[in-house]
Amino acid sequence: MNLTDLNKVAQAMVQPGKGLLAADESGGTIKKRFDAIGVTSTEESRRDYREMLFRAKQPMAQAISGVILYDETIWQDGKDGTPLIKLIEQAGAIPGIKVDEGTQALPNCPGETITLGLDKLADRLAKYYKQGARFAKWRAVIDIGAGIPTYAAIHTNAHALARYAALCQAAQIVPIVEPEVLMDGDHDIDRCYEVTQFVLKETFQELYYAKVALEGMILKPNMAVAGKKSANQAGVAEVAEKTVRLLKACVPAAVPGIAFLSGGQSDVDATAHLDAINKLGGLPWPVTFSYGRALQAAPQQAWAGKLENVVAGQQAFAHRARMNSLASKGQWTPELEQNKAA
């Protein structure tokens, strides 16, 4: 492991004003997204959609530091034969790869899951590195509900995250460590805070036991937010204050940066929360975005699978990327959402 090189990549991933585009939707997930806009999900349509994003020169060059790819995408060529991974590199962004293989039920823990993909991961990482990937992503899913999460679920997922991260660093790939506490329930922000604190503490303990070098990784956490079904939704200022307090209590300063997941927040909410967190200042690490839906929902709607809508899709992507770029520097205002041409 060359930690100096890993740290350079990690720092580039969270450089000022830039964040990550999570374009790593599984086949099932992107089918749901395409169904919502009336597009049939095929290998070609998925390629065309992602190529549209990667060829959007302005947002890719100005706001996107790296792109998380799905296995299918990292091997695909664009319509003109250019490898999609080369389009990302030509835009000055770093190619990355999702390496987890989804979840399955965790035995003896009803309603809880474990993430799969450790088997033969070392072999897959070597192939991804040769293809050009310089960072990877693994998502652990922690749900909040009646009697859950259990310690068994938190510990098992944290242990898997640490094993994955160690394998990545051995392969000279920066691991994005993503322990996601879901916002699907009816819990309030304080319950989210409590569970996320437990999850982060356990994750960093397991990373230590696995001898993962913190200087060569990126953390991708959820923010402290109330569940979608909660009658008591927290305001932007409360989300920012509690998220910062939570992270300062759990995340060592040695970590090069934090790139939040959006976790089902609306486009504007994800931007507003990120901005408020950065406006608080005094953070020991750069804090930016690693958004999927919060960057792509608008361009998907504008594109709708039609060639004549490619420019409109790219413009919608450019707007959302710019809004989040500003938020990563604490320079966003709600008024900017109205001026999409700016």
CATH number, residue 193: 3.20.20.70
Determine the Cα–Cα distance for residues 322 and 217; give it in Å rounded to an integer.
25
Which positions are catalytic? 220
DSSP strands (E only) in 13-154: 19-23, 64-69, 94-98, 103-105, 113-115, 135-142
For the chain, list residues with pLDDT below 50. Answer: 342
Report how far residue 207's alpha carbon sits from residue 195's, in angstroms, rounded to the nearest whole number.
Answer: 18
Please calculate the CA angle 31-157-18 and round it to the nearest 5 degrees: 60
Range of the domain at 303: 3-338
Contact at 8 Å (CB) between 56 and 302?
no
Length of the chain: 342
Q: What is the pLDDT of residue 263?
A: 92
Burial of 329 (0-12, 13-18, 19+ CB in 10 A): middle
CA pair distance 131, 284, nearest whole angstrom: 33
What amino acid is encoded at 76 in this protein?
A: Q
Angle between the 121-131 and 151-170 helix axes, to the nearest 10 degrees?
50
Query: In Å, how far are 59, 284, 323, 336 from 63, measured between CA atoms?
Result: 5, 22, 9, 16
* DSSP three-state, residue 301: helix
What is residue 340's predicted lDDT score, i.e. its pLDDT? 64
Q: What is the pTM of this model?
A: 0.96
Q: Work out how many domains the chain is built from and give that number.
A: 1
Cα dihedral across residues 313, 315, 321, 324: positive or negative: negative
Q: Is the distance from CB of 290 to CB of 219 less than 8 angstroms?
A: no
218, containing H or E segment: strand 218-219
